[in-house]
Amino acid sequence: MKALLMLLTTVSVLKAEMPVPPTLPAHPTQSQMIEYQKEMQGYIISTNEYMQQMLSKAYAVFKNETSNAFTIHYDSDNCGSDSFALGPKASFGLEASDNKQCCIKNFEVYYGKDQTPIYSKPKEADDICHKTITIESTSGSGRNKVGHAKVSW
């Protein structure tokens, strides 16, 4: 319990939702198309601002571009380790408390609560500091140990 309390006081989590894109009616009129284009420009600006805000406060942001839910387990150099759920089309930022400098040393991506990771950060890869880690796509299933994820940072 004491270790959990220490972890909770060491790392605070930034949780925010990505801006929602505008919707377009099935058979839009010309004026609806113009309005949609304006809303889409606003959406793009909002998304960029959202990501900049997340990055400015976080030592790492995990972004899920897929329609699947994942569990992420990470280890950092100065801010401990933890696991969290990452929903479809969502982002999750990790912020260090007390102005600590933290980087992600290792992380694994799991489908839901599966026990077999579909992605593990290569051991030889550099630590990840102040970057967005993006899950771009997935294939297969973690249950059968054939799942894979395309991840970039």
**pLDDT reported for residue 2:** 37
13-46 pLDDT, tens digit per residue, is 444 567 888 999 899 999 999 999 999 999 999 8
Domain-located, residue 24: no
62-71 pLDDT, tens digit per residue, is 999 999 999 9
Domain-located, residue 1: no
Domain-located, residue 35: yes
**Chain mean position to CA 129:** 14
How far is it, in rounded angstroms, from Cα 102 to Cα 79? 6
CA angle 129, 135, 140 (to 5 degrees): 140
How far is it, in rounded angstroms, from Cα 132 to Cα 108? 15
Domain region containing 138: 8-16+30-152
Domain-located, residue 22: no
The total of structural domains in the chain comes to 1
Closest CA relative to residue 72, chosen from 53, 96, 91: 91
Question: Between residues 149 and 7, which one has the greater pLDDT?
Answer: 149
